[in-house]
């Protein structure tokens, strides 16, 4: 009930916007190819449900794989780098370079590496590259956020590097890591869709392809239906990571 009460304002606003949209479309007689009313989008959603679901699942699956790669790669690299200040100085500029390079710009290269008949691999790799940085920087910041007095206590009792990592730094990093993962989850979906766009027509059958297809045929309702799927995907992933965050940090302040 409490969760429902928290979600109520967002639900009310969304409903109000949809109603306003529907009414405006009808009163102003907006052409359907230009802006279809929500009812038309709903119809498109139902009519194309099997195709959309298949595409959404494919994009979702690629984004999820990318997120896992980013968590293992970004988190693992952050842990390694945290062990030595020199390693951090060496790696951090490269990580930032990866972050500021637009995924669109490196897509053709990654596509060549993956092989044109393995576009899905390229999409996963590109989405992982986008999701990498928030995880890496979240975990690295978290590892360095341990209470300085607790660090002193570990010094006092002659803790080994591994003890310090396992008993102090990793638990201290958890909230930061989870926040990084939450941000990365959203970016993984964005990255997957952008990479699908760039990887060209029909190479993958993900949601980006549905968007392109519908756009090219001026089927605006179908386009918006695909967008709705995309938004739903993002919301689901966000809800899952937020729940994970709450659960894991329940015992702390």
Partner 1 sequence: MTAGVFFALRAAVVGFPGRPCLGPIDLAVAPGEIVALVGASGAGKSTALRLLAGLEHPSAGSVHRPDGTRTGFVFQSPTLMPWADARTNVALPLKLSGVPAAEARLCAEQALAAVGLGDRARARPRQLSGGMAMRVSLARALAVGPDLLLLDEPFAALDSITRRALIEDLHRLWAARSVAMVFVTHDVEEAAYLAGRVVVLSAADGRGMADIPMPGPLPRPEGWRRDPAFREAVEVVADALGRSMAATA
At its nearest, how many Å lie between partner 1 and the CB of residue 2?
Answer: 20
Residue 253 as a binder of partner 1 (CB under 8 A): the answer is yes
SS3 201: coil
DSSP alpha helices (H): ranges in the chain?
Answer: 2-27, 38-47, 49-82, 85-100, 103-114, 119-143, 148-156, 161-164, 170-198, 207-216, 220-248
| Binder of partner 1 out of 20, 112, 153, 231 (CB under 8 A) | 153
Q: Which of residues 193-252 bind partner 1 (CB under 8 A)?
A: 251-252
Choices 62-70, 106-114, 166-174, 222-230; region in contact with partner 1 by CB under 8 A: 166-174
How far is 94 from 151, CA to CA, in rounded Å?
Answer: 28
User: Residue 26, Cβ neighbours under 10 Å: how many?
Assistant: 11
The pair of three-digit structure tokens given for residue 90, joined into one six-digit string: 């060496």
Nearer to partner 1, 71 or 168 (CB): 168
**165 lies in the site for partner 1, by CB under 8 A:** no
156 touching partner 1, by CB under 8 A: yes
117 binds partner 1 (CB under 8 A): no
Please, which residue, 11 or 153, has the CB nearer to partner 1? Answer: 153
- Of the candidates 173, 105, 79, 92, which has an alpha carbon nearest to the alpha carbon of residue 133? 92
Residue 174 as a binder of partner 1 (CB under 8 A): the answer is yes
Q: Which stretch binds partner 1 (CB under 8 A): 70-78, 82-90, 142-150, 229-237?
A: 142-150
| Residue 75 C-beta: closest distance to partner 1, Å | 18
Residue 131 structure tokens: 């999701």
Q: Which of 107, 168, 181, 194 binds partner 1 (CB under 8 A)?
A: 168
- Pick the closer one to partner 1 by CB: 176 or 209: 176
Helix-helix angle 170-198:207-216, to 10 degrees: 30
Contacts with 38 (C-beta within 8 Å, 6 or more apart), sequence order: 18, 21, 22
Closest distance of CB 53 from partner 1, Å: 40
Q: Is 144 in the site for partner 1 (CB under 8 A)?
A: no
Would you say 86 or 157 has its CB closer to partner 1?
157
Would you say 173 or 203 has its CB closer to partner 1?
Answer: 173
Residue 183 to residues 63, 70, 95, Cα–Cα distance (Å): 13, 12, 16
Which of 67, 93, 80 has the alpha carbon at shortest distance from 241?
Answer: 67
Q: Does 171 bind partner 1 (CB under 8 A)?
A: yes
With contact defined as beta carbons under 8 Å apart, do 165 and 84 qualify?
no
Binding site for partner 1 (CB under 8 A): 147, 149-150, 152-159, 163, 167-168, 171, 174, 251-253
């Amino acid at each position: 009930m409490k969760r429902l009460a928290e979600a109520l304002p967002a639900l009310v606003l969304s409903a109000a916007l949809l109603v306003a949209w529907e009414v405006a479309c009808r009163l102003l007689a907006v052409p359907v190819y230009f802006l279809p009313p929500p009812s038309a989008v709903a119809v498109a959603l139902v009519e194309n449900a099997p195709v959309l679901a298949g595409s959404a699942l494919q994009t979702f699956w690629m984004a999820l794989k990318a997120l896992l790669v980013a968590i293992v790669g970004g988190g693992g690299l952050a842990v390694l780098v945290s062990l030595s200040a020199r390693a951090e100085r060496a790696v951090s500029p490269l990580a930032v370079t990866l972050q500021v390079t637009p995924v669109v710009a490196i897509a053709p290269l990654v596509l060549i590496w993956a092989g044109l008949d393995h576009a899905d691999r390229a999409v996963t790799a590109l989405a992982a590259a986008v999701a990498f940085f928030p995880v890496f920087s979240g975990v690295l910041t978290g590892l360095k956020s341990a209470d300085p007095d607790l660090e002193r206590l570990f010094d006092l009792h002659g803790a080994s590097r591994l003890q310090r990592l396992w008993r102090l730094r990793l638990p201290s990093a958890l909230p930061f890591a989870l926040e990084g993962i939450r941000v990365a989850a959203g970016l993984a979906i964005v990255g997957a869709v952008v990479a699908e766009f760039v990887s060209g027509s029909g190479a993958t059958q993900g949601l980006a392809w549905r968007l392109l297809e519908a756009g090219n045929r001026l089927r605006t309702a179908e386009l918006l239906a695909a967008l709705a799927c995309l938004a739903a995907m993002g919301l689901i992933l966000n809800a899952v990571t937020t729940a994970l965050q709450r659960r894991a940090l329940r015992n702390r302040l």
